[in-house]
């Protein structure tokens, strides 16, 4: 058996293994983008609360 057959067998196996990504499509990409925006707005909300707390506390280090 030549090395060409081995490499083709490995490539066929990897193509079969990762073939389910074709069915996923862009759903994963869109969900990551939406999750990123949700995290961004969550973080901005916390930052707003911290800024309000800092504004009301005169004994803070700046």
Domain extent listing, the chain: 3-56
Q: What is the percentage of the chain residues whose pLDDT exceeds 70?
A: 97
Radius of gyration of the chain (CA): 25
What backbone phi and psi angles, to 5 degrees, belong to 59?
A: -95, 45
- DSSP assignment, residue 28? H
pLDDT on residue 62: 62
Q: What is the pLDDT of residues 22-50, one digit of tens each?
A: 777 788 889 999 999 999 999 999 999 99
**Rounded CA gap, 34 and 36, in Å?**
5
Provide the total of helices (H) and of strands (E) in the chain, helices listed first.
3, 0
- DSSP assignment, residue 57? -
Q: How far apart are the first and last CA of the chain?
A: 72
């Amino acid at each position: 058996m030549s090395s060409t057959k081995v490499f083709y067998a490995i490539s066929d196996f990897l193509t079969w293994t990762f073939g389910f990504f074709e069915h996923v499509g862009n759903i994963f990409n869109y969900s990551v983008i939406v999750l990123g925006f949700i995290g961004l707005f969550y973080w901005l909300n916390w930052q707003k609360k911290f800024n309000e707390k800092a504004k009301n506390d005169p004994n803070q280090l700046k």
